[in-house]
């Protein structure tokens, strides 16, 4: 197999998908729709390129990632404008929520992967008294398939591409069909940074292209997307015994205790629920406020929500742009309608934005909601902030845990030890105290969900470890002795094994030392 970057246009044999600006409906471009054969070729070419890459030092790999970082920084405005146009989010938000975290992630993994993946000595207790030692070394897995969603079309795939490359792997990236131009831009940035030919392949297409990638013989899939698709990916991967990381949906609760800074919590709730039009896996999807401060908190979030600017026009400096697709907007409409039909009230919003053209939904605050409603159970993934009240800490924790999801959660209180204590009781991959939404942006810390929110991690050392094969290397330097437990199992050997059970297995060297006479007898028995 030659080392080449697939010419996806030629490989697609004329089949295409169209990328649209969701704020205007304008077609932004056409990209190839790749089928099975082309995806398999991309994986084979990536594998051919990986061997040389794995042999390079961390420093050499890091140099290329930092060169790519330089290009991203230089073209910051252009990339932010592309993200704005293809996803509908304001360019300012593309910079703050996608580009800043990625630039930090790039410098972090370019510099620190060498330390994070350093071979590790493992303490092996009393076995080390017998001249043995153990180390874990971390080897690249080979080819990593990355399947990514449209909601953070730059930050999610870029972060995983960087981590996979730094770990010594090749990558085949399948960006969302709604945001393929951003996926191709990631490939272009690395090509210009001098990444070896073939090592990063971007295969554009739809769900069938993603499924083809899962079946194409990669060594691991990093999947980010919906629970339904994640389960399908896991099933396909299980048939091949291929590992997967699944970063799936969320229904993230925010708990506001009555000793919280209500003003700050209100600002956080509004940003946490409405940033990216609420289309973040870690958006505040459910808010619980303690009754004593509920009215004050609700009044304030309604006031702040009404003050948000929603527009597609960058010159108007919008806070909220359009949603990324009509399909998602319809989910939001269904959830809000379901709640209103069960006596919930919309204090602001509750409908599409009039005369806006694209897929705009007004930021919405709902009250009088309960857990029988879709808006409190299923992922809404839109600009909706439903608020319930509670009386006690236990009730708040019970409500927060009453969900099939467990991605992030937040607790708001001035009493930090109470916040930590509550955090320990909440079922989620990340629990924040007095913070909301943003921790995916912390490259140094792990990211991952529990329950239906996913499996495994990305980011941080735990995320990097997903992209390598740990190998236990065990060495015995004391080669003059045969191990006591080798053949033959004479009565004396069996007696010694009983001694091991009673004494060695206590982990106490003093106890083990009492076995020395039996060991010496076993040694001479074998020599005779």
Q: Per-residue string for binding with ligand NAD, 236-275, x by CB under 6 A?
A: -----------xxxx-------------------------
Give min distance, CB of 268 to ligand NAD, in A. 20
| Count of positions on this chain that bind ligand NAD (CB under 6 A) | 31
User: Which one, of 374, 346, 344, lies nearest residue 362 by Cα?
Assistant: 346
Q: How far is CA 212 from CA 47, 215, 304, in A?
A: 16, 5, 46
The residue among 97 and 199 lying less far from ligand NAD, judged by its C-beta, is: 97
- Residue 394's contacts (CB-CB under 8 Å, 6 or more residues apart) are none
Give min distance, CB of 104 to ligand NAD, in A. 17
Stretch that binds ligand NAD, among 117-125, 173-181, 297-305, 361-369 (CB under 6 A): 173-181
Assess whether 287 carries a catalytic annotation.
no
Stretch that binds ligand NAD, among 25-33, 70-78, 202-210, 484-492 (CB under 6 A): 202-210
The residue among 208 and 415 lying less far from ligand NAD, judged by its C-beta, is: 208
Give min distance, CB of 225 to ligand NAD, in A. 3
Assess whether 281 carries a catalytic annotation.
yes
Q: Per-residue string for binding with ligand NAD, 440-479, x by CB under 6 A?
A: ---------x----x-------------------------
Identify whether the C-beta of residue 160 lies closer than 8 Å to the C-beta of residue 458: yes
Q: Per-residue string for binding with ligand NAD, 215-234, x by CB under 6 A?
A: ---------xxx--x--xx-
The residue with its CB nearest to ligand NAD is: 210
User: Which one, of 204, 200, 180, lies nearest residue 192 by Cα?
Assistant: 200
Structure tokens at 361: 């939904």
Neighbours of 268 (CB within 10 A): 24
Q: How far is CA 344 from CA 221, 330, 335, 336, in A?
A: 41, 19, 11, 9
Structure tokens at 446: 């792990």
Catalytic residue among 86, 98, 247, 379: 247
The residue among 35 and 56 lying less far from ligand NAD, judged by its C-beta, is: 35
Q: Which one among 158, 199, 281, 312 touches ligand NAD, defined by CB under 6 A?
A: 281
Please give the backbone phi and psi of residue 247, each rounded to the nearest 5 degrees, phi first.
-110, 105
Please give the backbone phi and psi of residue 474, each rounded to the nearest 5 degrees, phi first.
-115, 130
Stretch that binds ligand NAD, among 204-212, 347-355, 419-427, 468-476 (CB under 6 A): 204-212
Give min distance, CB of 283 to ligand NAD, in A. 8
Q: Which one among 48, 184, 214, 428 touches ligand NAD, defined by CB under 6 A?
A: 214
Identify whether the C-beta of residue 329 lies closer than 8 Å to the C-beta of residue 362: no
Catalytic residue among 281, 287, 379, 452: 281
Neighbours of 10 (CB within 10 A): 10
Q: What angle, rounded to 10 degrees, do the helices at 180-192 and 58-74 form?
A: 120
Phi-psi region of 151 (alpha: psi -120 to 50; beta: other; left: phi over 0): alpha
The residue among 70 and 207 lying less far from ligand NAD, judged by its C-beta, is: 207
Taking the CA atoms of residue 218, residue 222, residue 225 and residue 230 in that order, the dihedral angle to the nearest 10 degrees is 60
Residues numbered 308-337 forming contacts with ligand NAD, rule: CB under 6 A: none
CA 38, 216, 243, 33 torsion-angle sign: positive
Residue 115 is inside which H or E element, if any?
Answer: helix 100-116
The residue among 156 and 165 lying less far from ligand NAD, judged by its C-beta, is: 156
Residues numbered 354-383 forming contacts with ligand NAD, rule: CB under 6 A: 379, 381
CA pair distance 413, 409, nearest whole angstrom = 13
Give min distance, CB of 485 to ligand NAD, in A. 47
Identify whether the C-beta of residue 305 lies closer than 8 Å to the C-beta of residue 385: yes
The residue among 327 and 502 lying less far from ligand NAD, judged by its C-beta, is: 327
User: Which one, of 493, 517, 514, 492, lies nearest residue 503 by Cα?
Assistant: 514
Give min distance, CB of 319 to ligand NAD, in A. 21
Q: Which one among 86, 98, 160, 177 touches ligand NAD, defined by CB under 6 A?
A: 177
Residue 210 lies near ligand NAD (rule: CB under 6 A) = yes
Give min distance, CB of 450 to ligand NAD, in A. 11
Q: Per-residue string for binding with ligand NAD, 132-171, x by CB under 6 A?
A: ---------------xxxxxx---x---------------
CA pair distance 219, 348, nearest whole angstrom = 48
Identify whether the C-beta of residue 324 lies closer than 8 Å to the C-beta of residue 87: yes
Give min distance, CB of 522 to ligand NAD, in A. 56
488 prior amide bond cis, ω within 30: yes
CA pair distance 229, 481, nearest whole angstrom = 55
Interface residues with ligand NAD (CB under 6 A) are 147-152, 156, 174, 176-177, 206-207, 210-211, 214, 224-226, 229, 232-233, 247-250, 281, 379, 381, 407, 449, 454
The residues annotated with a catalytic role in the active site are 247, 281
């Amino acid at each position: 197999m030659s080392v080449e970057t697939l010419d996806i246009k030629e490989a697609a044999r004329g089949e295409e998908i169209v990328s649209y600006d969701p704020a205007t409906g304008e077609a932004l471009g056409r990209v190839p729709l790749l089928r099975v054969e082309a995806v398999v070729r991309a994986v084979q070419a990536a594998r051919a390129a990986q061997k040389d890459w794995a042999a390079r030092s961390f420093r050499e790999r890091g140099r290329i990632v930092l060169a790519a970082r330089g290009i991203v920084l230089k073209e910051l405005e252009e990339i932010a404008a592309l993200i704005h146009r293809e996803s509908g989010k304001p360019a300012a938000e593309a910079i703050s929520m996608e580009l800043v975290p990625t630039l930090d992630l790039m410098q972090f993994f370019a510099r620190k992967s060498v330390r994070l993946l350093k071979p590790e000595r493992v303490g092996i207790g009393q076995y080390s008294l017998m001249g043995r030692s153990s180390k874990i070394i971390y080897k690249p897995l080979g080819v990593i398939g990355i399947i990514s969603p449209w909601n953070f079309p730059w930050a999610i795939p870029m972060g995983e591409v960087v981590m996979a490359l730094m770990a010594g792997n090749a990558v085949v990236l399948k960006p969302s069909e709604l945001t393929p131009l951003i996926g191709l831009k990631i490939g272009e940035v690395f090509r210009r940074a001098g990444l070896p030919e073939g090592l990063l392949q971007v295969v554009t297409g739809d769900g069938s292209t993603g499924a083809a990638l899962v079946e194409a013989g990669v060594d691991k899939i990093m999947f980010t997307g919906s629970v339904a698709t994640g389960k399908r990916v896991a099933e396909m991967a299980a048939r091949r015994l291929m590992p997967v990381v699944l970063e799936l949906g969320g229904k993230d609760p925010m708990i506001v205790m009555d000793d919280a800074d209500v003003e700050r919590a209100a600002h956080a709730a509004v940003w946490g629920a409405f940033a990216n039009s609420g289309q973040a896996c870690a958006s505040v999807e459910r808010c619980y406020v303690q009754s004593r401060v509920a009215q004050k908190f609700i009044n304030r979030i309604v006031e702040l929500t009404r003050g948000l600017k929603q527009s597609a026009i960058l010159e108007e400096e919008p806070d909220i742009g359009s949603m990324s697709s009509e399909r998602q907007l319809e989910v939001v409409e269904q959830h809000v309608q379901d709640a209103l039909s069960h006596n919930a009230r919309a204090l602001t919003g509750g409908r599409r934005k009039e005369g806006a053209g694209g897929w705009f939904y007004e930021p919405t605050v709902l009250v009088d909601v309960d857990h029988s409603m879709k808006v409190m159970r299923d992922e809404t993934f839109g600009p909706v902030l439903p608020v319930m009240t509670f009386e006690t800490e236990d009730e708040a924790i019970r409500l927060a845990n009453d969900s099939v999801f467990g991605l992030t959660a937040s607790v708001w209180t001035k009493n930090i030890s109470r916040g930590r204590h509550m955090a320990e009781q909440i079922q989620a991959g990340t629990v924040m105290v007095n913070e909301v939404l943003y921790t995916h942006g912390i490259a140094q810390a792990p990211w991952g969900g529990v329950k239906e929110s996913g499996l495994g991690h990305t980011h941080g050392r735990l995320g990097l470890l997903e992209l390598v094969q740990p190998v236990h290397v065990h060495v015995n330097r004391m080669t003059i002795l045969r191990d006591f437990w080798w053949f033959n199992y004479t009565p004396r050997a069996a007696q010694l094994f009983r001694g091991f059970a009673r004494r060695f297995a206590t982990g106490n060297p003093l106890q083990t030392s009492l076995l020395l006479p039996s060991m010496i007898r076993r040694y001479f028995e074998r020599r005779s």
